Chain A
């Protein structure tokens, strides 16, 4: 969305609230004059799922969460932390790291300054997804602000809590279409005392089988990520324990195992981020079907890089070189193969008219009903999810 990417050029009014209350005030103040609102953090997902073609939904103002930051509450002994949603994840990690703790979540965008709220709203994830899931699995409380200025909280500050509906889940993957995430309470984990990564050279087609042996052997890897033709296996635990488990991989997989380096994990992150000119797609499959689905994509002639969270069936594919038509062909094939389980993370290589989303999920009628209830006046134009939420509003 060009207007969002360069707000000043578009003459867009940028609102910079510093608290949940100011988010509410900003939304109330603009209700009449600037009805259509965009939400943006540090912009690390500007390229995610942007609509096809020219700007199809103009917004009148943007709520930027870059000043909506800071720690609200942190008691290290409870291993929970409440932050304003515009706080960069990297800052949170630094703060809790000083107390030997971490948010067990490692999306590539964190290094670019991605915010906690933005990472929740886009349902991003990294290799830690294998053992810890994504932010939706680590958020224990949330404060959201709806278009009519309603400030609502769900969950709380304790890790076990079944009182009321879990709105944090609903806002995970909502791409700013339901309201503004203003505050987030995170569950923390101890920093591992030691970590070790080994690499198993594999044909991508065998990655799932090899990963299955490692998991089946009870080695409890904390990450199991295919990086092109090597399966990276990370162990977290005691120094002796991770060393023993790393050593046990070779026997479990009956293959030679290589040393791995930090640069291997950097490669995984680089695949997800891509570079100018690239197309980056993230696909979800049944884990065992991943290799077959990926192999069937028409990527011949393109420079590709692949990173798969093998046992979760989540695959990030970077395309480089070749024509926009060739990139579009891959996207079309991906949509045909995995339906709604495909997110465009970068679309530089795609033609302008390539769609952001494939066919909607089966539950799309529920999604539309939720959108209608949470944002009845359409203050948050459904841009990022428009093809699903507002099909009639999407321009060809």
Chain B
């Protein structure tokens, strides 16, 4: 059976495109959620959309499950292979097919990295707005699968707001296109429902992305606070004043300590919280609103406000913020990265409860988050060698579920994948999940496309995630996980 599949895969992608040596397969056994590992039967590396379709067709005919994979930076195990299944790596589909500066869009293959899109269109004064912090390595195909956001999605939205259309190979091998040339709907918004479906509805072979002109001005400030409550209240005040910053980020004492130990970005050590507020747009309005933000920070008792003086200083502040996850490795041997969302007005309450949960567990939690949209990234610090793993894992899950209990969500951007599939019943009822499964069944009645993700299954929910290990680029402060 498997040998027949192998020959069909060779026909589909060529003999140099099929990997089945154990050593080669090992590179694909996990994504950024390294605690889960499964070795696939084959990895295929198609070079064209037609080869992707042929590979999917081969899998469908043999009833073998397949998992599409970009750069493998996902943090929820969405690209975890299926045992005896096939991984379809899209790393060889990395052409920028067309740049259309007049219509501000580009056609790119799924293996193109997020940042390479922006680099390619920069000569036209354009950029691709979603900026997940792994943007140097993560691929646009993965961004579509996860509906990636980033630090600037408060103002600019997520991947779903920046894609015109995608070419997709459906789970039976049929190619189709979702979306159109204009922004006029053509019946139900299949494209919108596809983006963020975590690779469970088909394999993307081409993405037509929307591009934006660079904003005329960008200004960034960092404000220190002696309490997390004051920083949180400041965020609410900024938003309440009718200001829509491009980004509002917050880091707490522990996170700042880690960042400074790692990259010396210039944050004030020892303060309870630092807010990073970035405004962009027409120069005068940015200047006016920056002054207002500064006033609001002072009204809420900031202990120091620093406006970044130049792009280099701005880059340093962001480098620190982006290195935060990996930097936590400087202050703790092991840690879990959590991703949850609460209504913004419940940020302070969420942080207080997280602190209490951490105290109860006898562990430390560092907090780095997108404060503007209530997207928390608590980092649960622990020592594997000291036998703290299970306690830390329990604490991390409790935090995600706390977010749901506070009226929020299990995930703001990392996805459900394998990691949180078992928690989905906390956020959704059985009828909700069954209805979502109708959509899945419409695309994939045989259930061969990235099975075992997103929805809870008895088999999966008996398993357990492992600790977080940073990507090497992340340790270097070049990318971050947000």
List chain A positions with a Cβ less than 8 A from chain B: 75, 77-80, 100, 123, 125, 129, 133-134, 136-137, 144, 146, 150-154, 156-167, 169-175, 177-178, 189-193, 208, 212, 215-220, 237-238, 240-241, 244-245, 282-289, 309, 311-314, 338, 340-341, 343, 361-363, 365-367, 369-370, 372-374, 385, 388
**B contact residues, total (Cβ < 8 Å):** 88
Known contacts A164-B432, A363-B176; A169/B193 CB under 8 A: yes
Known contacts A245-B282, A341-B184; A154/B373 CB under 8 A: no
Inter-subunit contact B411/A161 (CB<8 Å): yes
Interface residues of B in 157-199 (CB under 8 A from A): 157-158, 160-161, 170, 174, 176-178, 180-193, 195-197
Report the minimum CB–CB distance from B27 to chain A (whole Å): 26
**In the complex, residue of chain B having the shortest beta-carbon distance to the beta carbon of A367:** B187
Return chain A residues, CB-CB under 8 Å to B216: 217-220
Report the Cα distance A303→B125, complex, angstroms.
40
Cβ-neighbour of A314 out of B182, B344, B429 (below 8 A): B182
In the complex, identify which listed stretch (B222-230, B234-242, B314-322, B391-399) lies at the interface while the others stay far away.
B234-242
Inter-subunit contact B427/A163 (CB<8 Å): yes
Return chain B residues, CB-CB under 8 Å to A219: 216, 282
Inter-subunit contact B374/A220 (CB<8 Å): no
Inter-subunit contact A123/B189 (CB<8 Å): yes
Return chain B residues, CB-CB under 8 Å to A241: 282, 284-285, 288
Interface centre among A146, A164, A365, A388 (most CB of B within 10 A): A164
Inter-subunit contact B442/A373 (CB<8 Å): yes
Inter-subunit contact A340/B409 (CB<8 Å): no
Cβ-neighbour of A77 out of B345, B429, B443 (below 8 A): B345
Report the Cα distance A281→B341, complex, angstroms.
41
Inter-subunit contact B184/A343 (CB<8 Å): yes
List chain B positions with a Cβ less than 8 A from chain A: 102-104, 125, 146-147, 149, 153, 157-158, 160-161, 170, 174, 176-178, 180-193, 195-197, 213-216, 236, 239-244, 281-282, 284-285, 288-289, 341-345, 370, 373-375, 407-416, 420, 424, 427-429, 431-436, 438-443, 454
Interface centre among B177, B240, B433 (most CB of A within 10 A): B240
**In the complex, residue of chain A having the shortest beta-carbon distance to the beta carbon of B192:** A169
Return chain B residues, CB-CB under 8 Å to A162: 146-147, 196, 409, 411-416
Return chain B residues, CB-CB under 8 Å to A137: 157, 161
Inter-subunit contact B190/A363 (CB<8 Å): yes
Known contacts A156-B427, A157-B407; A365/B174 CB under 8 A: yes
Return chain B residues, CB-CB under 8 Å to A150: 431, 434-435
Return chain A residues, CB-CB under 8 Å to B241: 190
Return chain B residues, CB-CB under 8 Å to A217: 216
Inter-subunit contact A170/B192 (CB<8 Å): yes
Return chain A residues, CB-CB under 8 Å to B435: 144, 146, 150, 152, 154, 167, 374
Inter-subunit contact B188/A172 (CB<8 Å): yes
Return chain A residues, CB-CB under 8 Å to B181: 284-286, 289, 313, 341
Return chain B residues, CB-CB under 8 Å to A163: 409-411, 416, 420, 424, 427-428
A sample of 5 inter-chain contacts (CB < 8 A) reads A77-B345, A129-B183, A158-B409, A372-B442, A374-B442
Inter-subunit contact B146/A77 (CB<8 Å): no
Inter-subunit contact B242/A388 (CB<8 Å): no
Known contacts A159-B373, A340-B187, A385-B187; A164/B424 CB under 8 A: yes
Return chain B residues, CB-CB under 8 Å to A388: 187
Report the Cα distance A245→B283, complex, angstroms.
10
Report the Cα distance A313→B180, complex, angstroms.
11
